[in-house]
Structure 1
């Protein structure tokens, strides 16, 4: 039985969701009712996807808290990033719900926004809180050494405490605050490139994530400093026995920096070999729109899909719809009868209005996800009468893939150029800005190389619990590239801003490289561990697309935070020396004056 929803295309999935339960309830011991079709497929997918995303997000929270407690050494301090993230989540989710009343918002926009708000919110709060604790401890030590102030009474001490807290907040926002702001702008710029894809669903997803980033950024730069000022030393409550709350300098990462400084070529070549080896499989990467395999085997749409294929042929679930002038129906029937890719064509069905149009439904010979269907569609578009317009769910997927293939190079180019320009503005150093951008590109390529091995070739599919489709979903390269690059540049800004801060103070390349690792390495390590934990939880549950997202983003962060930022980029700072921070005179006049060294 064929039925069409009496609503526009934006509402068809909602109608399918409302109807599938009552339709399935009609099943008896002798009659099985399995509603299927494009709208039902998306309904079942959204349901499975939402369930998996929510499960993954709730699973990641305790893991995240455990990592933060270890990173901060105190339960109160560890809870601040989660509270900040919660504020960003509530604000972005509420805004998306309101926007959904005006324009349709993809359910993926909600899910991606929540995931990104969690990951970035923790990153930003971690960076700011660690810096405040160090600045506050430094202020206390300076005050304790000032013996002249010890005899002025309680009121003066209170005034001194307030002054110290203000000074610590000012220093934090003048260093870490600037880095967070520039990092957030870099993330927004990278994601904005997805808007170049002329697809409402893609723009909806990118817009949802950008909105969550804006709210998290606003909370980090306004709410978090206020909370830190009010809590002051109380953020160190419930501290672990080995915690050293005021220590911003990490001896272990300083020692790691010295090791890299002494043998840069060995470590640099090793990291390059690993990244290039992981990136090599990207040369054989294939993409296509998601197949029926993205749904669980017991989903109604998949059961019905298989039954339709068994009864009416492999191509029946991807029936083509051809609309044309009534006068061209005979010529179209001749073309359809001769085409080897068409199994059968129905009789023309006249439109219910006075348009004079007819619609012919044609069943292809191959499954909707088979590459051969694209060849059939191309032939039909070339051979059918000029008034004929070819459509249907399978053709929509093919057209969207073609659009994504055309848009991907543009999006990649725009992201790279804008990312480099933002780094140039932030660091005022052309060479290290270029190297940082290229390093981010290399880690992104490595993540996609591994994705090809897992999702296209099926390595590890049994462990992750999915059936490989033989390709990567077509939307993954453009969308994941923007997301990965945004996260990679996030860490780049943190590390290089710290390096620039040390170089501004000392003018010494050695101090810039080792000092950056000593002061930001631990934060990058902890933030990377949190992001990997968050993303990999998505790889362990749900349909294939969330698994792709979890594996690709998790691997990208793993490689970028621990291999690129903590090995390759410091090595590049070592090898380039003072040239890394050289700014031509003409460029210095053009760029705004941004400094990170606080007095």
Structure 2
């Protein structure tokens, strides 16, 4: 065990213990004493915002997967404005037949497709099939283009509405499929939303069982549901209202639901278990609530702030879908946190000893310290190097593969084979060549169109270059469409795009749906180090604020980074290399979806820091009381180990049910987050971090005098 630095005085037992309730204790006492008022206030909030909640799935946006400010987005805007909506977001309707498209029966179907598109005011100019461009060389496949007259979100909604009526036009050896970027996102959102709902339904029985076991009584087990319901309804209503100001991704609600449930259970577990212990000592429920909020309430507040701060780093990525998803989760966390700090104390004060009603036979009322985890803490204290080295070896072994992790935007295979977008994609690839679904759009001033076309004709990696088409509005711009030799998911297309942008005239801009995906992928890769760095710095700063101890704050942050790295290392083996893909029911794309390193990192780190705050705040409370490093380490496990273990059990159950989903993105999320929580709870919070407390001893809690002067005085012990 390390010794205390020479300029730090020993902390005597009882030093630093707060006298009298702090702000959170007073808030809890007020809420417990005004139960009806608090319940009424929350009822009004939930009712007012709940009016809008049912609209959440229909009102929120389906697009937003783009790199704002990129060259490809600029091309899409120019194409929509000057080229009759012939942008990447346009609807492509593929008509395939077992006979020539000039056959009268096929021409009638094409005419019906045109009428269907023209009847929708979100579609601008409808371009009929043109030989040599949108009629296949064998003459049996034609493409009707429905120009984009609306923004990308409305074009996804147009795809939602039109893809089935268009498919219904198929008959007598003629098939009709809508495809293109907007239809792909429509199918993608639909498939993944349905899969996430099914996974959440499957997770509920397991979640309820773990909650009853963890809380020990049916009454207490119902409290997280109260917090989750209040937080979800309020945040859903807020998202609908915010969508009137700026587009909010429909995925924001899916992730918000998942986080609200997970954190609602975490926070309720921590407070209810502490309340039970305080209730056995306090003379009134209000005093028990006061003690609970003065101790565990501080940890919950700091945990919630840490989660929000970690997710806020995703806002550094200028992609609407990512920003709104992070915002949705943050909003849900804030509502759940508010309910935890006001509604839960009011309910606990009103329930009093009835919180233990309908208890399981083996549960002891007032039990707060776990003998099992206390014994585990004593074992770690006696043999820290053995357990610490074993835990570290597993984490490092899993983290090493992360350095070879490959990422890319999802391929067409993320939607079912019978989905409209994929069926149309397959028809276009077969009729026009593998690169046709990823056709690049080059917009150039008309005076440079010949020079641009000449460069495109000589460029490697292109299978065909179509003649320049001047803009019909007289803007002086021309569009040249270039068909790559490879498909949109082939890594070679990225090299082709880079070469074109380097060699084309300066005024020429290269875009198209495939280019938009590549630009977003590059943006995510470029921003990942910044997001990760900001998350780490802010996480350390918040731990330092809470613990007032630089060493253990740094070690806690690094431990969270290690478990996150191990989760992504496991993700590389599973999704890049295909380990266990038959067992898990998917075909490896050879890469992890590009949003995972940024978005999943922030989510995993937020959860990891959640557990870190619970464990280390409990350790600090014990150290404030006794000044004994052994009591701090063993006591923190005895009082928070069961909470961490139970909360992790619920999260793992929830996340791993997503691994059963058929679509790949929810499966990736479920496996990566589930493995991360499992590793973090079992190997980091319950082994490695306590071992670090043991090895650093009193030095873990040392703080230089100058730092103590500038930091606010945050204490967790209650008198």
Which of residues 465, 473, 480 in structure 2 aligns to 1:360?
A: 480
Q: Residues 239-388 of structure 1: matches in 2 within 5 Å?
A: 239-388=359-508
Paired residue secondary structure (1:296): coil
**Which position in structure 1 is the counterpart of 2:262?**
119
- Structure 1: stretches of 5+ with no match in the other structure: 144-163
Distance 1:273 1:182 in 2: 30
**Which position in structure 1 is the counterpart of 2:643?**
523
1:43, distance to aligned residue in structure 2 (A): 0.3
**Which position in structure 2 is the counterpart of 1:103?**
246
Which of residues 85, 95, 117 in structure 1 aligns to 2:228?
A: 85
1:199 aligns with 2:342: no
Which of residues 183, 189, 194 in structure 2 aligns to 1:46?
A: 189
Distance 1:50 1:217 in 2: 26
1:4, distance to aligned residue in structure 2 (A): 2.0
Distance 2:582 2:225 in 1: 33
Q: Residues 123-202 of structure 1: matches in 2 within 5 Å?
A: 123-139=266-282, 164-202=284-322
**Which position in structure 2 is the counterpart of 1:57?**
200
Contact 1:51 1:542 survives alignment (8 Å): no
1:283, distance to aligned residue in structure 2 (A): 1.5
1:417, distance to aligned residue in structure 2 (A): 0.6
**Which position in structure 2 is the counterpart of 1:66?**
209
1:480 aligns with 2:600: yes
**Which position in structure 1 is the counterpart of 2:19?**
none
Which of residues 144, 155, 175 in structure 2 aligns to 1:12?
A: 155
Paired residue secondary structure (1:593): coil
Which of residues 585, 590, 607 in structure 2 aligns to 1:465?
A: 585
Distance 1:213 1:499 in 2: 25
Distance 2:676 2:653 in 1: 12
1:357, distance to aligned residue in structure 2 (A): 0.6
The one-character-per-residue Cα deviations of 1:12-48 (angstroms, maximum 9, x if unpaired) are: 1111111101001111131111111111100000000
1:190, distance to aligned residue in structure 2 (A): 0.6
1:138, distance to aligned residue in structure 2 (A): 2.1
Contact 1:73 1:245 survives alignment (8 Å): no
Paired residue secondary structure (1:33): strand
Contact 2:152 2:182 survives alignment (8 Å): no
Contact 1:257 1:513 survives alignment (8 Å): yes
Distance 2:199 2:470 in 1: 49
**Which position in structure 2 is the counterpart of 1:218?**
338
Distance 1:436 1:384 in 2: 50
1:450, distance to aligned residue in structure 2 (A): 0.4
Deviates more, 1:214-223 or 1:348-357: 348-357
Contact 1:165 1:229 survives alignment (8 Å): yes
Paired residue secondary structure (1:26): coil
**Which position in structure 2 is the counterpart of 1:153?**
none
**Which position in structure 2 is the counterpart of 1:25?**
168
Which of residues 552, 556, 559 in structure 2 aligns to 1:432?
A: 552
**Which position in structure 2 is the counterpart of 1:495?**
615
Distance 1:344 1:10 in 2: 31
Which of residues 702, 709, 719 in structure 2 aligns to 1:589?
A: 709
Distance 1:524 1:592 in 2: 27
Distance 1:573 1:259 in 2: 14
1:344, distance to aligned residue in structure 2 (A): 0.7
1:396, distance to aligned residue in structure 2 (A): 0.6
1:496, distance to aligned residue in structure 2 (A): 0.3
1:223, distance to aligned residue in structure 2 (A): 0.6
Paired residue secondary structure (2:146): coil
1:249, distance to aligned residue in structure 2 (A): 0.6
Paired residue secondary structure (2:147): coil
Distance 1:89 1:57 in 2: 14
Distance 1:444 1:239 in 2: 37
**Which position in structure 1 is the counterpart of 2:687?**
567
**Which position in structure 2 is the counterpart of 1:149?**
none
**Which position in structure 2 is the counterpart of 1:557?**
677
Contact 1:197 1:404 survives alignment (8 Å): yes
1:411 aligns with 2:554: no
1:475, distance to aligned residue in structure 2 (A): 1.0
1:58, distance to aligned residue in structure 2 (A): 1.6
Distance 1:544 1:119 in 2: 22
Distance 1:264 1:415 in 2: 29
1:304, distance to aligned residue in structure 2 (A): 1.2
Deviates more, 1:528-537 or 1:228-237: 228-237
Contact 1:53 1:542 survives alignment (8 Å): no
The one-character-per-residue Cα deviations of 1:39-63 (angstroms, maximum 9, x if unpaired) are: 1100000000110111111221221
Which of residues 538, 549, 559 in structure 1 aligns to 2:658?
A: 538
Paired residue secondary structure (1:361): strand
1:136, distance to aligned residue in structure 2 (A): 0.8
Deviates more, 1:251-260 or 1:348-357: 348-357
Contact 2:556 2:689 survives alignment (8 Å): yes
1:440, distance to aligned residue in structure 2 (A): 0.3
Contact 1:93 1:114 survives alignment (8 Å): no
Distance 1:593 1:6 in 2: 58
1:35 aligns with 2:178: yes
Contact 1:267 1:567 survives alignment (8 Å): yes
The one-character-per-residue Cα deviations of 1:212-243 (angstroms, maximum 9, x if unpaired) are: 11111001001111011111122211111111
Distance 1:459 1:304 in 2: 31
Q: What TM-score, normalized to structure 2?
A: 0.79
Contact 2:200 2:657 survives alignment (8 Å): yes
Distance 1:534 1:315 in 2: 40
1:451, distance to aligned residue in structure 2 (A): 0.3
**Which position in structure 2 is the counterpart of 1:159?**
none
Structure number with higher helix proportion: 1
- Structure 2: stretches of 5+ with no match in the other structure: 1-142
Distance 1:124 1:334 in 2: 64
Aligned length: 576
